[in-house]
Amino acid sequence: MQRLGRRIADLVAAHLATLRDRPIRRILPPEHLAALLASPSPRQGRDFEQLLTYLEHQVFPYHASEPNPGYLAFVQGCPTFPAVMGDWLAAGFNFFSGAWAVSPGPNALELLVLEWFRQWLGCPEGTGGLLTSGGSAATLTAVIAARHAVVGDDPSRIPRLVLYTSEQAHSSVIRAAWIAGVSRKQVRLLPVDDQWRMDPERLFAAIAADRAAGLLPLMVVGTAGTTNTGSVDPLPALARLCAAEQLWLHVDAAYGGFAALAPKGKQSLAGIELADSVTLDPHKFLAVPFECGCLLVREVRRLEEAFRIYPDYLKDHEPKSGEVNFADRGEQLTRYARAIKVWLGVSFYGTEALGAAITEAIARAEYAEQIVRKSPELEVMAPARLGILCFRAHPRGWESGERLDDLNRRVMARVNDGGQYLISSTRLKGEFSLRICTPGFRTTRADIEAVLGQVVAAAQRET
């Protein structure tokens, strides 16, 4: 066991130490895929070393390298090594974190990290929740809890439910609504203002119109750090409106929530503490490995009212006061001890260093914005917010439209095929935009200069 463990630690360390030497992305060729899928299940066991070699050469090369400093697409996952070790510990000990009775230590650690998160966001005492597989699972859990609060055990009311969010909301919000039984026609994707934020007046009008039509408003989902532009909905205004309308306010802070550790980020999140529930994603800005999301709920009993269920074979495991069966707060019974990686990653570096890294991550996108503003060939599409910048190549004299969109598509392909940087795209007000997202602590300002230099060079070659 020790030998194999060291082998794996060496392999991962070597990978992480040489990220810049390898291409940012490798596609799996179709003939290779066909060969891989044709392998029969092994009748006899094989040597571990051989199996590792197979993984190392036949499987692992084909991926987009998330922790790579050049990964600027989507939302990079860039875990610290102590946090990675936390996942290995959780798997090695194989703690069962669904029930208090069988692993009180790791469950207490989960309560502790949830309490840290609560304090970082400034949520009221008594707020609690659970760690989940990711932001999508956290939001789904919140929607189910809100649904239970509104319709209880009366399914006849479900068809009338309406969920309000903005057109910039993450797709997981819409999916959560569908899973909870909210009709696709009754998920309101409200238009945003010129800074990509939900407009409380339009929200108010939509709720009034739905009530007048006999529908049943379920909840409002605001976003703190949209995936497209990093924008933050006007949380204090949403909270006031939801209080007046007696509606559940959920804030999807999967992307932006841990910016609370950086002074500038904390300012942008003002009002998040007023939410009824919040989604966080430690596997984004908090630098823990996939998978790790989190749901915090102001009145944690709401979760237990929605999810708690005790079959005969679990009767002995009912928790006593102060104990928590995390299985009572969500859909998972068997769940692993995600708290270990969070606790290790946070404790090894401390919140000062993590906050400084997040401050610098936010500043990297602002630095990119400065360069874009100074470049006559480039144009800002949405200013840098919480580590996200949207921009495009825009040669002098070109009009907006399909031809310009197409140029930027080719620019993106050229940069991504270069092998050093991976950028992504989005659409803003109908126009194609390039997008970079800069949470990774390995990315430097020199990388920002280099990738924007590649965009300019690619645009020149394509025109």
Dihedral sign of CA atoms 346, 348, 353, 359 in order: negative
In whole angstroms, give the CA distance from residue 371 to residue 406.
23
Q: For ligand PLP, which residue of 109, 145, 251, 254 counts as binding (CB under 6 A)?
A: 254
421 counts as binding ligand PLP under rule CB under 6 A: no
233 counts as binding ligand PLP under rule CB under 6 A: no
Tokens of 234: 């006007």
Question: At residue 221, what are phi and psi to the nearest 5 degrees?
Answer: -115, 110
Distances (CA, A) of 171 to 18, 136, 295: 34, 9, 17
Report, in Å, the least distance between residue 35 CB and ligand PLP.
31
387 counts as binding ligand PLP under rule CB under 6 A: no
For the purposes of burial, counting CB atoms within 10 Å of the CB of 148, is it exposed (0-12), middle (13-18) or buried (19 or more)? middle
Give the number of C-alpha atoms closer than 13 A to the C-alpha of residue 436, restricted to the C-beta side: 33
Give the Cβ contact number of residue 282 at 10 Å: 31
The one-letter amino acid at 347: S
Question: Is the Cβ of residue 107 or residue 165 nearer to ligand PLP in the bound state?
Answer: 165
255 counts as binding ligand PLP under rule CB under 6 A: yes
252 counts as binding ligand PLP under rule CB under 6 A: yes
70 counts as binding ligand PLP under rule CB under 6 A: no
Q: For ligand PLP, which residue of 103, 223, 231, 408 counts as binding (CB under 6 A)?
A: 223
For the purposes of burial, counting CB atoms within 10 Å of the CB of 276, is it exposed (0-12), middle (13-18) or buried (19 or more)? buried
439 counts as binding ligand PLP under rule CB under 6 A: no
Question: Is the Cβ of residue 97 or residue 223 nearer to ligand PLP in the bound state?
Answer: 223
Report, in Å, the least distance between residue 279 CB and ligand PLP.
7
Question: Is the Cβ of residue 220 or residue 411 nearer to ligand PLP in the bound state?
Answer: 220
Question: Is the Cβ of residue 390 or residue 407 nearer to ligand PLP in the bound state?
Answer: 390
Q: For ligand PLP, which residue of 68, 80, 97, 136 counts as binding (CB under 6 A)?
A: 136
Question: Is the Cβ of residue 166 or residue 227 nearer to ligand PLP in the bound state?
Answer: 227
268 counts as binding ligand PLP under rule CB under 6 A: no
Are 235 and 180 in contact, with CB atoms under 8 Å apart? no
Report, in Å, the least distance between residue 283 CB and ligand PLP.
6
Of the candidate spans 29-37, 115-123, 128-136, 318-326, the one that interacts with ligand PLP by CB under 6 A turns out to be 128-136
Tokens of 343: 């606790």
What is the end-to-end Cα distance of the chain in Å, rounded?
58
Are 67 and 301 in contact, with CB atoms under 8 Å apart? no
Report, in Å, the least distance between residue 462 CB and ligand PLP.
30
Tokens of 460: 């020149």
Are 389 and 196 in contact, with CB atoms under 8 Å apart? no
Q: For ligand PLP, which residue of 25, 147, 160, 170 counts as binding (CB under 6 A)?
A: 170
Q: Kindly state the number of chain residues that form the binding site for ligand PLP, as judged by CB under 6 A.
A: 14
332 counts as binding ligand PLP under rule CB under 6 A: no
Nearest partner of 382 among 346, 434, 422, 420, judged by Cα: 434
172 counts as binding ligand PLP under rule CB under 6 A: yes
Question: Is the Cβ of residue 68 or residue 136 nearer to ligand PLP in the bound state?
Answer: 136
In whole angstroms, give the CA distance from residue 423 to residue 412.
7
Report, in Å, the least distance between residue 67 CB and ligand PLP.
16
Report, in Å, the least distance between residue 269 CB and ligand PLP.
13
Of the candidate spans 131-139, 186-194, 338-346, 349-357, the one that interacts with ligand PLP by CB under 6 A turns out to be 131-139
293 counts as binding ligand PLP under rule CB under 6 A: yes
**DSSP class per residue in 268-303:** HTTTGGG-SEEEE-TTTTT---SS-EEEEESSTHHH
Report, in Å, the least distance between residue 138 CB and ligand PLP.
8
Of the candidate spans 247-255, 260-268, 308-316, 365-373, the one that interacts with ligand PLP by CB under 6 A turns out to be 247-255
Q: Is 217 helix (H, G, I), strand (E, B) or coil?
A: strand
Torsion of CA 298, 300, 305, 311, to 10 degrees: 160
Residue with tokens 């991976």: 422
Binding residues for ligand PLP (CB under 6 A) = 75, 134-136, 170, 172, 223, 226-227, 252, 254-255, 281, 293
